[in-house]
Amino acid sequence: MMNTAATILSDSRGHDDRGISHSREHFHAVSLSGGKDSSALLLLMIERGMPIDMVLTADTGMEFPEMYAHLAKLDAHLYRERGIHITTLRHPKGFEWLMFEEPKQKATSIAKRLELGIPLQGNGWPGMKVRWCTGQLKSHLINKEVNRIKGQHRALHYIGIAADEPKRVKGEVYPLVEWGITEAQALQICYDRGFDFGGLYQIYRRASCWCCPFQRIGELRKLRQHHPELWARLLQMDNRARAMFGPGPLGQFRKDWTVERLEARFAAEKKEDSV
Ligand code: SF4
C-alpha cells in the first residue's frame, strides 16, 4: 500500500523519515519528462501531499502524439489537485530548425565544414559525440530555468529517476531512489492511477522522441508498424539530411543504416513473415 498525504514529518527542518523535504521555506520544482518515472514521481508527490511550486517539462516537438495527450492529462490532474499548470519550455525554433537550418557561428566549425564541403548551417542528425538535441532542446532549457529559480529562492529540484537507474547528479533530489521505486514499479504506479500513456509502453520500451537515432532497431521496426505516419516523416528527414550533408555522420540516421535501407529491411521481413 502506498504512503498517502499523511507522510510523517520527523524533524524540525521539515524532512520526512526518508529525508525528503516538506518544508515551505523551499521552492519545490519538479522536472517532468513525461515518461513513466517522472510521471510516477509527480503523481506520488501530489498523492503524498508534498509541496510542489512548479513542474517543468521541455518539449522537443518530436514526442509521440500519445505523449502529448498524456502530458495534457497529467496537467489537468495537477491543476485539479494543486491549482498549477505544467510549465513547458521550448526552444524557439525547434528540432528540425536546429537539424537543418541553424547557422554555424564558430570560426573553427566554419573552417572545418568548408574543408569537408559540408553546408554552413544545420547540425544534422545527433550523434554519440554531438548529442545537440538533448543539450539544446532539454537540459539547457531546464537547467537555465532551474538556475534562475535557484537564484531567487532556496530551491529543491526533484528528478524522477528510478531506484534501479544509475544516472544521478549531485545536488538534486531523487525521491524515487529514496523510496526504492524501480522503473517497473513506476510504470505500475502510473497504470494504477489511470495513466496508461495511450498504450505507448505496451509497444515501446521508451517513450521519448520518435525520431531518436539512438533507439534500438527493434523500436524502429515497431515505429514503422504502429506509427506509419511518423515513420514516413522519419524517412523524409533522413532523405533531406543525406541530400544536404552526404553519407557521413551528420547526414545519415545511423552509422550503418539509412532509414531508406531500414525501410527495405523491414518490408522484406514483413514479406517473409507473410509467406
Ligand atoms: S530522445 Fe533522442 S532525439 Fe530526443 S532529445 Fe533525447 S537523444 Fe535527442
- Residue 126, ligand 1, Cβ within 6 A: yes
Provide the residue range defining the domain that includes 152.
Answer: 27-205
CATH number, domain of 189, equals 3.40.50.620
Work out the mean pLDDT of the chain and round it to a whole number: 91
Model pLDDT for residues 110-150, shown as the tens digit of each residue: 999 999 899 999 999 999 888 999 999 999 999 999 999 99
Q: What was the pLDDT predicted at 2?
A: 34
Per the domain annotation, does 180 fall within a domain?
Answer: yes
For residue 230, the SS3 value is helix
In a domain, 271, yes or no: no
Instruction: Report how many domains make up the chain.
Output: 1
Structure confidence by residue, pLDDT tens digits, 28-62: 999 999 999 999 999 999 999 999 999 999 999 99
Confidence at residue 244, expressed as pLDDT on a 0 to 100 scale: 96
H helices of the chain, in order, are 36-47, 65-82, 95-100, 107-116, 132-133, 140-152, 175-178, 183-192, 200-203, 217-226, 228-245, 259-274
Tell me whether residue 117 is in a domain.
yes
Tens of pLDDT, residues 49-106: 999 999 999 999 999 999 999 999 999 999 999 999 999 999 999 999 999 999 999 9
Q: How far is the CA of 230 from the centre of ligand 1 (A)?
A: 15
Phi, psi (deg, nearest 5) at residue 199: 85, 5
The C-alpha cell 522519419 sits at 234
Q: Is residue 16 part of a domain?
A: no
**All three cell numbers of 129:** 559525440
92 within a domain of the structure (yes/no): yes
For the entire predicted model, the pTM comes to 0.90
Per-residue model confidence (pLDDT) at position 6: 32
212 lines ligand 1 (CB under 6 A): yes
Greater confidence (13 vs 220) lies with 220
Q: Is residue 57 part of a domain?
A: yes
The CA-atom distances, in angstroms, between 53 and each of 13, 31, 85, 159, 263 are 18, 11, 10, 14, 46
Q: Is 31 helix (H, G, I), strand (E, B) or coil?
A: strand
Nearest residue (by CA) to ligand 1, atom 6, is: 134
Pairing between β-strand 27-31 and β-strand 155-158 as defined by DSSP bridges: parallel
pLDDT tens-digit map of 166-215: 777 778 999 999 999 999 999 999 999 999 999 999 999 999 999 999 99
Answer yes or no: is 101 within a domain.
Answer: yes
Q: Name every residue whose Cβ is closer than 8 Å to that of residue 224 and which is 6 or more positions away in sequence.
A: 231, 262, 263, 266
Ligand 1 mutation pick, 63, 98, 99, 131, max ligand atoms within 8 A of CB: 131
pLDDT of residue 19 exceeding 80: no
Domain-located, residue 260: no
| Ligand 1 midpoint to CA 138 (Å) | 9
